[in-house]
Structure 1
Amino acid sequence: MREIKIRFLAAAAVFLLSALVAACGGGNNGNGGGAATIPATEKPQESSTEAPAAKVRTFTTVKGEVEIPVKPQRIVTDYYGGELLSVGANVVGVEPMAFDNPFLKERLKGAENIGDPINVEKTLQLEPDLIVVMYDKNYEALSKIAPTLYIPYGTTTDVYETVRLFGDIAGEPEKAEQFIARFEQKAAEGREKLQGVIDENATFGLYELTDKGDLWIFGNNAGRGGQAVYNALQLRMPEKMTGDDTQTLQLSLETLPEYAADYMFLTTYDPQKKGEAQKQLLDSSVWQGLSAVKNNTVFYNDFQTFYPYDPISVTEQIDLIVDMLIARSEENMNKK
């Protein structure tokens, strides 16, 4: 009996093992049975043969090709703070005058003053992954800290070129186009507000007096509100400046009437607030004889507000100019 029992158990074990193998490894049948499969979402990913996205790219400058980050994270610059901020770049260091710009102060709260010219040691401490400069002093030393782009003054001529260039540098072309769209909307709104307020044939001049008594007139791309007045609002230059590519021209008091305009905007560079040069100009018979003075269409503008020409400042200057022209028009109408 004991031998029979052993044989029975052995046979049963063989039967169970065969059934198990058939269930797990058998072929398909009419009931849809078959081998177990792994759901597609859980299948192990095949190893990719594509190269990883590039982290750096080549940017061509007047000093040659420079390898820069595709998306720089920490940028130090001398005079391009506003240009970089306009496309959402992270500016960690900038020259001191930028902090006096009323349109950039809030945006630069996290940035450091790196001096003028750029202090190499301070720049090293900020650990930038990109440096962008308008002037190439200390260029070689800066290039040892991080990739350095030398973009000379005058490389771009208006908001469009500027924003697209710095959008490219920052790896933010979409943000550049978004900024341009806002700028165009602001300009169009400003032009609409001035319809019926300003004679379409009226001329507008931008002038600056220094504390030394030097007098200058400006074009459409040298600050002092030029891009807002001439490019955005499309107001007319004085006849003597029309067609002239010169962006700045020094005037003598005697020649000022030749470059005078129906509307005149005057900024004064007087860091010590002496006021002597401006008083001398305003008291002169030449100044007193200008039509704009007699018609109360002269505007004395704050230097820090109208000196900047970065895209953010230009956009904000549009509203300031429109508002002052409307207010002055109303004031003059009420006097009649």
Structure 2
Amino acid sequence: MLRRNKSYLINICIILGLALIISACGSDNNESSSSSKENGNNNAEITLDSKKGKVTIPQNAERIIAPYHEDALLALGVTPVAKWAIGNSIQNYLEDQLKDVPKIEWNLPLEQVMKYNPDLIILSNTLDSYEGSYEDYQKIAPTYALTDEAAGNWRKQIKIFGKMLGKEDKAEKVLNQYDQKVSNAKEKLNKAIGDETVAMVWTMGNKFYLFEKDRHIADVVYSKLGINVPEVVDSLGKAPNDAWNAISIEKLSELKADHVFLLGMKGEEGIKTLQNSSVWQSIPAAQSGNVHVMNDPSHWTNQGLIASKKTIDAIVETLAE
């Protein structure tokens, strides 16, 4: 009987010991799983379609170079390690967020890129415009080249960048907020100006450029805000890629718009030229005092969520408040 009880106790001890080992292993596995999940977030990668086919990039990138696409990054709360520039020319409308960020030349010289030690490089679709080849940049850091479609569509850029950086919820949120802003602005402007027409003229170097209806911010003004297009603007058709064609003052005399936003830096010679031109002064907007001079053309001549928001604010403040 005693021998049987001893055997029973031994079996119980073995069972309890095994239970403790299994429990410990389970705890270790849970900790390992939790640790793996945390490490997974730190080392996560994502594969996306790009101009160069499928490319795998890290989602934990912090030092990002994305020349001329800083608008989309900033919309997601991400500050690049360097900002686009052509000499001293920069995207002025972003300077409230990028004033302390150093410049990098628009064609991405390889030495400059290496100096900033990026862990992600985002290129536009026009790869021939860069100093280095795609492969050169890939040797420095994981490199993503935007597709033709995404390069010309800032909403798609925000969604792609959201996927890249694990900020898809943020991307959806900022786009929804923007859509609500557009809706509110459209309602205000409809009440304020009704069927009146609006045109945008940019002056630089005493030359004048009339925005086609799909040129940069004009697409927001006409397509999203629902503002009517003047006849002469409609006759221009689609904007030819990124090329700007100067227009003569004589041609501007045909601009029968109710409101004109005249865009030019403070002291720009072209603004003075138009103010002293009897031809310009004869157009309806000038005669009614509805030529609105804007001394920061940068967000009007760019594409992006921030550029659009700034332009919408300017239009609403000028015409509806």
Shorter-chain TM band: 0.7 to 0.9
The structural deviation recorded for 1:165 is 3.6
Q: Secondary structure of the residue that 2:170 maps to in structure 1?
A: helix
CA displacement 1:34-56 (0-9 Å, x = unmatched): 943449865423999x9x96844
Structure 1 pair 203–165 and aligned structure 2 pair: CA distance change class (3 A): farther
Among 82, 95, 114, the residue aligned to 1:105: 95
What are the residue-to-residue correspondences of 1:175-324 with 2, within 5 Å? Answer: 175-199=170-194, 201-211=195-205, 213-219=206-212, 221-223=214-216, 225-242=217-234, 244-246=237-239, 248-268=244-264, 273=267, 275-302=268-295, 303-324=297-318
Counterpart of 1:68, as a letter, is I
Distance (Å, rounded) in 2 between the aligned partners of 1:109 and 1:22: 78
Contact 2:46 2:164 in 1 (8 A): no
8 Å contact 2:260–2:290 — kept in the other structure? yes
Counterpart in 1 of 2:146? 151
User: Can you list the C-alpha shifts for 1:40-84, whole angstroms capped at 9, x where unaligned?
Assistant: 865423999x9x968444443334443322443321122111122
RMSD over aligned CA atoms reads 3.6
| CA distance in 1 between partners of 2:64 and 2:91 (Å) | 19
Q: Any idea what the Cα deviations from partners look like across 1:144-185, whole Å, max 9, x if unmatched?
A: 212333337875555433422433444433222111101011
Deviations 1:273-301 (A, max 9, x none): 4x433222221121010000111111111
What secondary structure, in the 3-state scheme, does the structure 1 residue paired with 2:94 have? coil
| Mapped contact 1:94–1:114 kept (Cα < 8 A) | yes
Gaps of 5+ in 1: 1-13, 28-33, 328-336
TM value normalised by structure 2 = 0.77
Matches within 5 A, 1:1-40: 19=5, 21-26=7-12, 35-36=15-16, 37-38=19-20
Structure 1 counterpart of 2:137, from 137, 142, 150: 142
1:334 maps to: none
Matches within 5 A, 1:155-166: 155-166=150-161
Q: How far did residue 123 of structure 1 move?
A: 1.7
- Equivalent residue in structure 1 for 2:55, among 34, 47, 66: 66
The DSSP-based 3-state class of the residue aligned with 2:249 is coil
Asked if the contact 2:254/2:283 (under 8 Å) is kept, the reply is: no
Structure 1 pair 40–146 and aligned structure 2 pair: CA distance change class (3 A): same
Secondary structure of residue in 1 paired with 2:222: helix
Q: Which residue matches 2:319? A: 325
What is the CA–CA distance in structure 2 between the aligned matches of 1:100 and 1:85, rounded to whole Å? 15
C-alpha spacing 1:96/1:157, structure 2 compared with 1 (3 Å) = closer
Classify the secondary structure of the residue corresponding to 1:208: strand
Structure 1: distance between partners of 2:23 and 2:174: 41
Per the TM alignment, residue 229 of structure 1 is displaced from its structure 2 partner at its CA by: 1.9
Q: Describe the SS at the equivalent of 1:95.
A: strand
Deviations 1:62-107 (A, max 9, x none): 3444332244332112211112222333411121379954553343
Decide whether aligned partners of structure 1 residues 38 and 125 sit closer, same or farther in structure 2, where only a CA change above 3 A counts: same
Aligned partners of 1:152 and 1:283: how far apart in 2?
Answer: 46
**Equivalent position amino acid for 2:230 in 1:** P
Aligned residue in 1 for 2:115: 125
Q: Is the 8 A contact 2:212 2:239 kept in 1?
A: yes
Q: Distance in 2 between matches of 1:283 and 1:154?
A: 43
* Aligned 8 A contact 1:72 1:170 in 2: yes
- 1:123 is paired with a residue whose SS is helix
Q: Distance in 1 between matches of 2:8 and 2:47?
A: 63
Structure whose alpha-carbon radius of gyration is higher:
1
**Alignment correspondent of 1:8:** none
Q: In the aligned structure 1, how far is the partner of 2:149 from the partner of 2:263? A: 22
Query: Which runs of 5 or more residues in structure 2 are unaligned?
Result: none
Instruction: Give the partner amino acid of 1:91.
Output: P
How far does residue 116 in structure 1 lie from its aligned partner after superposition? Answer: 3.2
**Quick one: distance in 2 between partners of 1:20 and 1:99?**
89
- Show the counterpart of 1:5: none
Pairwise CA distance, 1:237: 1.8
- Cα distance in 1 between the residues matched to 2:198 and 2:120: 40
> What's the TM-score once normalised by structure 1's chain length?
0.74
In structure 1, what is the Cα distance between the partners aligned to 2:4 and 2:270? 109
Query: Does the C-alpha gap of structure 1 residues 139 and 57 become closer, same or farther in structure 2, counting only changes over 3 Å?
Result: farther
Instruction: Looking at secondary structure, tell me which structure has more helix per residue.
Output: 2
Distance 1:39 1:68 in 2: 40
- Identity across the alignment (%): 24
Q: Aligned partner of 2:270: which letter? A: A
Contact 1:76 1:92 (C-alpha < 8 Å) held by counterparts: yes
Structure 2: distance between partners of 1:169 and 1:295: 50
